[in-house]
Structures are given as C-alpha cells and as structure tokens.
Amino acid sequence: MGDIVKSSRWIALAALALTCSTPAMAKDWKTVTVAMEGSYAPWNQTDASGKIVGFEVDILNDVCARAKLECNIVAQDWDGVVPGLTAGKFDIVMDGMSITEERMKTIDFSIPYASSPVAFLADKNGPLAQLSNSGKMIDLSKDDAESKAALDTLRKELTGKNVGLQVSTTEATFADKYLKDVANVHEYKTTDEHDLDLMAGRIDVAFADTTYFLGTLAKPDAKDLEFVGPQFKGGPILGPGIGAAFRKTDKDLQDIYNKALKAALDDGSVSKYSMQWFKIDITK
C-alpha cells in the first residue's frame, strides 16, 4: 500500500507541476489578425487600391506599434464578425462595435475608444423631416420619464413607416424592442444599402450611428438628407461605447491591447485620429 500511496502522491505532484507550468505555455502574441468590414466609413473603408483605411485602422496601427505586435487586417462581412472571432478565424474585431450586455455573453471587449449615439436620417423635404425631439440626446441608461416620453412619441410618429437599418447591430436590437411592432423594419447586409434605398425613396428613414451618418451626409448625392428626431445613447442595448472585440479565452491579448490603447487615449492620439476622420472628437 505504501508504494501505491507514494505513486499516487507522485502523480498528483506531477499533475500540479503541469498545471502550474501552463501559463508559460500561453500563446506568445507577436502576430494578430484583425477583422474589419471595410465598408463602414469612416470607421473603416476600402480605398481605390483595395486597402482598408479609416479611423479604426489608425487606432490599430498605433496600438500595434506600441504593443510591438504585427497586425494583419482582413475584410469580413458584418454578420460574420462575431462567429468568425469565436471560431478562431481572426483574433480581434474592430468594426464600430458597441459594447453591450448581450454581446458580452459570448465575447469580451477592450476599453472604449469612442462613443457614438444612434440617430435617424431622412429626406429633409419628406414626411419625417419634422420628427419630434430633433437634435435632442436621450440617455437610455437613466430610464426616466424623459426617455419614456421620447420613445412613446417616436413610436407614434414612426407607426406604419419604413425604417432601414443594418442587420445584427445595436440599431436592430433597439428596433426589435421599440419599433418592430409599429413600423416596417427593413434589415440590410450593409449600411450602404439602406443609404441607397433612403435616397431612392424606398424607405422613409435610416437608423445608424451618428458618426457613420456624418460620412453619408458628406456625399454629394446626400444633399437632400438630414438628421431627424432624437438621438439615443446608453442603456443595456446601446452600451457605454465602442471597443475592440476579443475571444473570452484571450485575456492576455486583451490586456496587451488595453495597455497600448489607454496610452494612445491618454496622450491624445485617438482624439487626433477622430478629428482627422470625423472632424469631431468622439472619444469623449
């Protein structure tokens, strides 16, 4: 029995040693693959040469230089970014993605690098040009009488209207909760598609991030469009801001990224990129 006990102890100690050595065997992050849609201007967009450029590309290049990482960007359709991340096709997603409670059930996020409320865009000469509460910011994290009144009014004014938005976005989740039972909600694979339908009059209003719409409004063929109705931020659906997405198993990579990102935020670099791409500072 003594030999058996000794053997059992030896096996237990060996197992413990193996367990303790596991952190040393963690992935040595030198090269990472980062997914972006490449069609969400000016967050990330594909230029005439086929290269992805934009606000998030500048942030990524800065972060990777500080963290001494080689970062390779790949294009991925929006509806495949989370499945592709969890399946290991790439290591990070940067695609104007809001940090929400629902998404954090399956993935993790960096600290926020931007904040962008959601808003509505419509024809300035159309039936929704006079949508109530235009220009007013509604913070859904407060869940107060003002928020409830603004949502009630919005629901009444959008009843029977055609609302366009991108699939699998916070806007889609917002519409599922507040609009789908009163409005005709049309989901699109890309934001460009709902912009085209809005300009063609096939939908009454488009719903997306304000920063995305700033890019839309800069286009010559969008001269008849304008922001209408209230803008919304915060709460469980819209979250505290926008960040990079990671697999829950890659805490070490997330920590490396966050350290470099915080330095870029603290020294004003991210604000500089924001001014370059949006003409406003969206880091606040």
> Going by C-beta distance under 8 Å and a sequence separation of 6 or more, which residues neighbour residue 229?
119, 120, 128, 131, 132, 133, 134, 154, 157, 205
> Going by C-beta distance under 8 Å and a sequence separation of 6 or more, which residues neighbour residue 178?
151, 154, 155
pLDDT tens digits, residue range 191-235? Answer: 999 999 999 999 999 999 999 999 999 999 999 999 999 999 999
pLDDT score of 18:
42
Give yes or no on whether 31-115+240-278 and 118-233 have one common fold: yes
pLDDT score of 172:
97
Q: pLDDT over 70 for what percent of the chain?
A: 91
Please give the average per-residue pLDDT across 180-195, as a whole number: 97
What Rg value do the Cα atoms of the chain yield, rounded? 23
Residue 54 is classified by DSSP as S
Q: How far apart are CA 43 and CA 97, in angstroms?
A: 10
Q: How far apart are CA 154 and CA 139, in angstroms?
A: 15
pLDDT score of 143:
81
Q: How far is CA 244 from CA 35, 103, 154, in A?
A: 10, 12, 31
Q: Which of 126, 134, 132 is nearest to 199 (CA)?
A: 126
Q: How far apart are CA 63 and CA 57, in angstroms?
A: 10
The domain limits of the chain are 31-115+240-278, 118-233
Instruction: Indicate whether 20 pLDDT > 50.
Output: no
pLDDT score of 24:
39
CATH for 118-233 (3.55.40.20, 3.40.190.10, 3.30.2290.10, 3.90.1150.10):
3.40.190.10
List 137's β-bridge partners, or say none.
231
pLDDT band at 26 (very low <50, low <70, confident <90, very high): low
Q: How far apart are CA 257 and CA 29, in angstroms?
A: 11
For the whole model, what pTM was predicted? 0.80
pLDDT tens digits, residue range 96-123? Answer: 999 999 999 999 999 999 999 999 999 9
Amino acid at 259: K
Q: Which CATH architecture has domain 31-115+240-278?
A: 3-Layer(aba) Sandwich (3.40)
Which is higher by pLDDT, 23 or 80?
A: 80
pLDDT tens digits, residue range 233-253? Answer: 999 999 999 999 999 999 999
